[in-house]
Amino acid sequence: MNTRTNNPIWAAALLPVMLVACSDSNNNGGSSPDPEPSISIVQRDSADANGINGIVHASSGIYAIGYSDQEDDRTVILGYNDDGSVNTDFGTDGVLSLNIKDGGDEVPYGIVELADGDLLFVVNAADGESGQSVYLVRLDADSDFAIDAGYGDDGGAGSGLAAGVQEVVFGWANADNGAFPDGAPSDTAYDLLLDTTGDEERVVVNGYGPAANGETFGGAQATDRDRYVTRLMADDGTVDAGFSGGAAFAYSTPRGENSTDNARRASLEADGSILSVGYTNFGDGQSNHVVLIKLSPDGSLDTDFGGFVVPAPPAIPAQDGVAIFNPFRAAGGFAEAYAAVAQSDGDYVTTGYGRANAGTAPDTGPLSVYDDTDENDLVAFRVLDGTGIDPDYGNPDAPGTQAIQSEGTDPADAEEISTEERGRDMVMLPDDRSVHVGYYGGVPAIYVLTADGELDTSVDDDGLILLPHDEVTNTGTAVEQQFFTAELSADGKLAIGTRANDPAGVRFVLIDGLSD
């Protein structure tokens, strides 16, 4: 497989740097549009941010939300213009720094723009010695995006929280934390979506936390991890009474000592249906399986979706509204999903990572086409609405699966620093090609797959756009981070942010023209 990087053309030598690169061709038919897609990159050092977890294309530009772990951990929002350059009129030199939890850890995971131009984001903030709670925060566009102190009533004097935050309750309200049997409950929100399908603006939060107050296992309060989806009124952050009986929807695999359900991103349908994406380790040698949950607009399980476990159930019953699968289990592998987006016909494509072949696959058979996995592979599947995994998607030699590996490629390729692949987020282009962002060969990468799940070789000859860690060094230190989050604008601009445990800083990437 050819894995080369676009040739950079430096547009400026001043901080921050914008790099522009042109692909050889970029559309599914193989002809090169005019103009070709461009790539801009802005690198910020660790004084500004250490990670980007969410992006929104707004009426006043692009906003990337993340965190800085310098001194007191804090939330940061980076402002960009529509061309990917820094919006120096936003915050201080394009950075708005907020302290939601005084003296404690805080990590935001999603941001949306409301109809009046205000920004709303969700943040996970330390709660006690071992706990964590989820809060909504609103920023007032008419006051230079200051925190709206009148939005929520869970912060203020004595709380350690900024005034104006609104608690998002999964299974445990903060007021009940004293009854939790093992330290303090720790909730995590992973995604925030804006729902405009009703008469009023609402937001959906996808996340996970311990089993709800009152759920038992072995005669005692259960403390294993469950997945939660909740819908809130955007104007005040209160629970939408018309969703899941006025509480967060909770999903649990059959309870055990270490049942761990993981939520990642979510997708919102035009009718208000919600697809919650994640994975679960079923134990006993079964490892991680993709678990997709589809909810109807009222927060109940969509009985027309899912209802299958693939391959044979690992002691997990099939359930309408839930799709569970790990086709790599026969080779000792695993599969995780971090995002899923619908194609035009309503079928869902996932992205994530896993292990396609743990070295236990037979010498013949579909999974034998994959190299033994040294490090994680990017894995993708297509789920047919209500019937199972699509056997016509992905690798034609391993029907129903797609695992993209750098194992077996030329080790002399200097662009690859490991054999690690990851899919961390994705978007769907209008022609049903999917764009996956993450890692390839240990290098930040953008994958473009055809509608049927093969690498689109009309994009840079191999379907891969690699942006090595040292591609931009204007801050003096290379940012060794993977691509983590992506958002596509209505006019086809793809914004991408990086995140990893790297103190050097972050990169923000804008690709214009990929969807032409």
pLDDT tens digit sequence for 402-436: 999 999 776 666 577 889 999 999 999 999 999 99
Whole-number Cα distances in Å, 6 to 137, 186, 334, 413, 487: 39, 43, 32, 15, 21
Specify the pLDDT at position 19. Answer: 39
pTM above 0.85, yes or no: yes
Mean residue pLDDT of the chain comes to 88
Mean pLDDT of 473-479: 67
Mean pLDDT of 195-201: 96
Beta bridge partners of 130: none
Specify the pLDDT at position 3. Answer: 28
Measure the CA–CA gap between 330 and 367, rounded to whole angstroms: 8
Measure the CA–CA gap between 291 and 285, rounded to whole angstroms: 17
Counts for the chain of helices (H) and strands (E), in that order: 0, 37
Whole-number Cα distances in Å, 251 to 115, 272, 398: 32, 19, 31
Q: Where are the beta strands (DSSP E) in 282-397?
A: 288-295, 308-310, 322-325, 334-335, 339-342, 348-355, 377-380, 382-384, 388-389
Specify the pLDDT at position 412. Answer: 60
| Architecture of the domain defined by 8-512 | 7 Propeller (2.130)
Residues 6+ apart with CB under 8 A from 347: 382, 383, 384, 385, 390
Q: How many CB atoms lie within 10 A of CB 414?
A: 8
Specify the pLDDT at position 439. Answer: 94
pLDDT in tens, 89-123: 999 999 999 999 987 789 999 999 999 999 999 99
| Pair 390, 400: CB distance under 8 Å | yes
Residues 6+ apart with CB under 8 A from 73: 67, 101, 104, 105, 106, 107
